[in-house]
């Protein structure tokens, strides 16, 4: 199972924004708060399950619903 590119971007942005905090406590806390949801992605005839942030998943459901 892989991380969706949006989840990777969120992790990278947290690391860039809070790098240099003492013992990286802020980074650890923010990363620990991230929640992921498995998402079945269908590309052509292939199905792939990726992890997306639950926040993005819920937002996408609201936007498409």
pTM tops 0.85, yes or no: no
How high is the pLDDT of residue 1? 85
Closest of 12, 61, 63 to residue 39, by C-alpha: 61
How high is the pLDDT of residue 24? 84
| Residue 40 DSSP code | E
Q: How many CA atoms does the CB half-sphere of 53 hold within 13 Å?
A: 15
How high is the pLDDT of residue 64? 85
How high is the pLDDT of residue 47? 85
Residue with the larger pLDDT of the pair 22 and 62:
62
Which tens digit of pLDDT belongs to each residue from 11-59?
A: 999 999 988 878 788 899 999 999 999 999 887 778 889 999 999 999 9
Distance CA 28, CA 50 (A): 22
Token pair 């650890």 is found at 28
Q: Break the chain into its structural domains and give their ranges.
A: 2-64
């Amino acid at each position: 199972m892989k991380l969706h590119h949006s989840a990777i971007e969120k992790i990278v942005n947290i690391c860039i924004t809070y790098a240099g905090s003492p013992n990286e406590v802020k980074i650890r806390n923010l990363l620990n708060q991230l929640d992921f949801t498995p998402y079945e992605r269908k590309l052509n005839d292939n199905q792939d399950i990726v992890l997306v942030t639950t926040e993005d998943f819920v937002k996408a459901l609201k936007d498409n619903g």
